[in-house]
Amino acid sequence: MIQTKNMQKLYTTEEVETTALNNVTTEIKAGEFVAIMGPSGCGKSTLLNILGLLDNPSGGEYHFVGHEVSNYSERQRATLRKENIGFVFQSFNLIDELTVYENVELPLLYLGVPATDRKDRVDAALEHMQIPHRKSHFPQQLSGGQQQRVAVARAVIGNPKLILADEPTGNLDSANGSEVMQLLTGLNEAGTTIVMVTHDQAQAGYAHRTINLFDGRIVTENMHTEVQAPAQD
């Protein structure tokens, strides 16, 4: 699904040039659950933004679902992104003025899904996330764990091939964090590819493999022989 070869990202000002990614070469197969780890400033979020087609690399190659996309325009990236990728962020990124139902429905509006189909799919997603009783609430009326469930529902509503999660449990307590990891694990077991940035070794344990970054380079890639089992209620 994902292949990068000698991928670079440079940020240049009048005074300094910063290398955020330095010759990153890796592959992520369809159906994998991959964690990306490393110290702050090592390039994790930059890599996730490029993988999510939110930005282009400065050099090298990036192949996504059979397309070489490193030089795609914003319009080309947006089309490919909305058809294939869902995002889950640490800060939830819900729209305060929209209800839970409307937040989850939003990607389907962008995809042009008919109203009747939208209702069926949103109701099913909220039921799956165990929050159908919150559909008329606004984000600020929800707990952090409930807001992240809404964010996950919004990420998966378009049936994306890939979910990119940036510190998805960073603003949650351990109980709610474990619930979100169980949701992501369940989605992966159903066939969705997941790439997750995390600082938490325990959360990385849910993944099949960890990519470790340092100073914009991949320094190690570790397979997990024993994947973290979801906690039982």
SS (H, E, C) the chain: CEEEEEEEEEEECCCCEEEEEEEEEEEECCCCEEEEECCCCCCHHHHHHHHCCCCCCCEEEEEECCEECCCCCHHHHHHHHHHHEEEEECCCCCCCCCCHHHHHHHHHHHCCCCHHHHHHHHHHHHHHCCCHHHCCCCHHHCCHHHHHHHHHHHHHCCCCCEEEEECCCCCCCHHHHHHHHHHHHHHHHCCCEEEEECCCHHHHCCCCEEEEEECCEEEEEEECCCCCCCCCC
Share of the chain above pLDDT 70, in %: 97
pLDDT band at 52 (very low <50, low <70, confident <90, very high): very high
Angle formed at CA 39 by CA 177 and CA 192, multiple of 5 degrees:
45
The pTM of the full predicted model, rounded to 2 decimals, is: 0.90
pLDDT greater at residue 233 or residue 52: 52
pLDDT, tens digit (0-9, with 9 covering 90-100), for 203-215: 999 999 999 999 9
Q: What per-residue confidence (pLDDT) applies to 87? A: 95
Q: How far apart are CA 151 and CA 162, in angstroms?
A: 15
Q: How far apart are CA 224 and CA 82, in angstroms?
A: 31
pLDDT, tens digit (0-9, with 9 covering 90-100), for 181-226: 999 999 999 999 999 999 999 999 999 999 999 999 999 999 987 6
Q: Which of 96, 15, 11 is nearest to 57 (CA)?
A: 11
Write the CB contacts of 213 (distance below 8 Å, at least 6 apart in sequence). 36, 37, 38, 42, 43, 44, 47, 219
Tell me the CA distances in angstroms from 3 to 6, 51, 65, 68, 100, one per residue in order. Answer: 10, 9, 9, 9, 35
Going by DSSP bridges, is the β-strand pair 17-28/67-68 parallel, antiparallel, or unpaired?
A: unpaired
Share of the chain above pLDDT 90, in %: 85
Q: What per-residue confidence (pLDDT) applies to 15? A: 85
Q: What per-residue confidence (pLDDT) applies to 90? A: 87
Output the six-digit token pair for 62.
């990036």
